[in-house]
Chains A and B, each alone.
Chain A
Amino acid sequence: MRQIKVLGPGCPKCKTTYKNALEAVEQSGLPAEVTKVEDIEEMMKYNVLTTPVLVVDEDIKIKGRVASVSEIANYLR
């Protein structure tokens, strides 16, 4: 099962990314778990400077901008 994490303290951009991730998983029909990381201490473990961040299986894929549904779906394949 893929692990998708969306890091961001809760600004509109982070919420959109989270929503897009949920949608991408639903569309793909693949087993994946989407979690939202809002805790700054947890977030800093990934050593990122800009949010939102998309993490797939502990690998940083996109940072500092909203990831679109199709982009996220690509990482799921």
Chain B
Amino acid sequence: MFDGLQHFSDWLIYSVFSLGADSHLGTALNFFVYDTIKILILLFVIVFIMGIVNEYFPVERLKNYLHRNKLYGLEYLFASVFGAITPFCSCSSVPLFIGFVQGGIPLGVTFAFLITSPLVNEVAIAIFIGMFGLKATLIYVLSGIILGMLGGWILDKFNLTPLLSDWVKSILDSKTQPGTFEEEQKSFRERLPDITRGAWDIVKGVLLYVIIGIGIGAAMHGFVPENFFGQYLGGGQWWTVPLAVILAVPMYANAAGIVPVIQVFVAKGVPLGTAIAFMMGTIGLSIPEATLLKKVMTMKLIGIYFGVVTVFIIISGFIFNLLL
């Protein structure tokens, strides 16, 4: 599918700029041009598809559905899947949290959504396909969804309501509001311009990170010796996974920037499972998100939430390394 693109990059770098295919600079630049164009195409396509899905299944619909129906455990699956398909913005997490709680949705189910939403997002999926292929992407998406379900379910087992901030508790005590969501009656044709614009906005928003990420990746690709990380981290030492995740959690990086860098780590010998776990730690949990959540949760609850998710990401890292 991307053969033509590879020919184009070869032609541009090796013929037009006449850099040698065996020089570090030549390979690095070739890698950069090829990856940037490929990722941008994938990014637009995936974000566009997600935009269409989202137009027809907005999160308000999930809220009303969960409010009305008894699902015997399936609500965790729905919340987590919706978390994956909803475009994530860290500042939406607080309104979402309140809205769900207000709608009488159990805390655990709300957490399932909250965990998966940043963990699996359209930008990360697109770049993942470009960098690691479909199989690894599928494993990443499925494990993100399962992680959200299990994390939410476990959190539901703790008695967490007393750990919410006073303001949220007062909302819980007041009557639950029925949803007032009206379905927009628009044809696909009428929706298309908004969807396209939305997709373009997202791509534009991460463009810089993609270029920086791939740039760093390309530079490392050309200059870091083969199996460099493998010597230190690739030997399957058990502690590499927890270490990678614990380092990743306080880091806050855009998925668009972090995946191309991770790809080089993998190419130079870091196990793919460790790399996926590292990425999940970086994008799934972050200090800015914790700061925002302070408005609705006590520090203790944020600690429990982050702790549970961290443990689950570490466990999935081990499982990936066994499977892959």
Task: Give chain A's interface residues, CB within 8 Å of chain B.
Answer: 8-14, 40-41, 43-44, 47-51, 64-66, 68
A41 CB contact (under 8 Å) in B86, B167, B198: B167
**CB proximity to A under 8 Å, residues B150-179:** 167, 171, 177
Known: A40-B295, A66-B201. A50 touches B96 (CB 8 A): yes
Say whether B92 contacts A68, CB under 8 Å: no
Q: A61 → chain B, closest Cβ, in Å?
A: 12
Q: A19 → chain B, closest Cβ, in Å?
A: 14
Say whether B99 contacts A48, CB under 8 Å: yes
B98 CB contact (under 8 Å) in A11, A12, A14, A44: A44
Q: Nearest B residue to A68 by beta-carbon distance? A: B197
Tell which of A13, A40, A50, A68 has the most Cβ of chain B within 10 Å. Answer: A50
How far is B90's CA from A8's CA once the two chains are assembled, in angstroms? Answer: 11
Say whether A8 contacts B197, CB under 8 Å: no
A50 CB contact (under 8 Å) in B59, B102, B171, B296: B59
Task: Give chain B's interface residues, CB within 8 Å of chain A.
Answer: 58-60, 63, 86-87, 89-92, 94-96, 98-100, 102, 167, 171, 177, 180, 197-198, 201, 205, 292, 295-296
Q: B83 → chain A, closest Cβ, in Å?
A: 12
Which residues of chain A are near B89, meaning CB under 8 Å? Answer: 11, 13, 50-51
Q: A6 → chain B, closest Cβ, in Å?
A: 12
Say whether A49 contacts B92, CB under 8 Å: yes
Q: Nearest B residue to A14 by beta-carbon distance? A: B91
Which residues of chain A are near B86, meaning CB under 8 Å? Answer: 50
Say whether B292 contacts A49, CB under 8 Å: no
Say whether A51 contacts B92, CB under 8 Å: yes
Which residues of chain B are near A8, meaning CB under 8 Å? Answer: 91
Q: B63 → chain A, closest Cβ, in Å?
A: 7
Q: A35 → chain B, closest Cβ, in Å?
A: 17
Q: B82 → chain A, closest Cβ, in Å?
A: 11
Other 20 A-B pairs with CB < 8 A, given A49-B96, A51-B91: A9-B91, A9-B94, A9-B95, A9-B292, A11-B90, A12-B205, A13-B205, A14-B91, A40-B295, A47-B99, A48-B95, A49-B59, A49-B99, A50-B59, A50-B95, A51-B92, A51-B95, A64-B87, A64-B92, A68-B197
Interface of A is mostly: loop
Which residues of chain B are near A41, meaning CB under 8 Å? Answer: 167
How far is B59's CA from A47's CA once the two chains are assembled, in angstroms? Answer: 13
Say whether B90 contacts A49, CB under 8 Å: no
How far is B92's CA from A24's CA once the two chains are assembled, in angstroms? Answer: 24
Q: Nearest B residue to A8 by beta-carbon distance? A: B91
Which residues of chain A are near B95, meaning CB under 8 Å? Answer: 9, 40, 43-44, 48-51
B180 CB contact (under 8 Å) in A9, A11, A12, A47: A47
Which residues of chain A are near B92, meaning CB under 8 Å? Answer: 49-51, 64
Which residues of chain B are near A48, meaning CB under 8 Å? Answer: 95, 99
Which residues of chain B are near A11, meaning CB under 8 Å? Answer: 89-91
Q: Nearest A residue to B296 by beta-carbon distance? A: A40
How far is B164's CA from A47's CA once the two chains are assembled, in angstroms? Answer: 19
How far is B98's CA from A64's CA once the two chains are assembled, in angstroms? Answer: 15
Q: A51 → chain B, closest Cβ, in Å?
A: 5
How far is B86's CA from A51's CA once the two chains are assembled, in angstroms? Answer: 12
Which residues of chain A are near B99, meaning CB under 8 Å? Answer: 44, 47-49
Which residues of chain A are near B87, meaning CB under 8 Å? Answer: 64
Q: A66 → chain B, closest Cβ, in Å?
A: 6
Q: Nearest B residue to A38 by beta-carbon distance? A: B91
Q: Nearest A residue to B58 by beta-carbon distance? A: A64
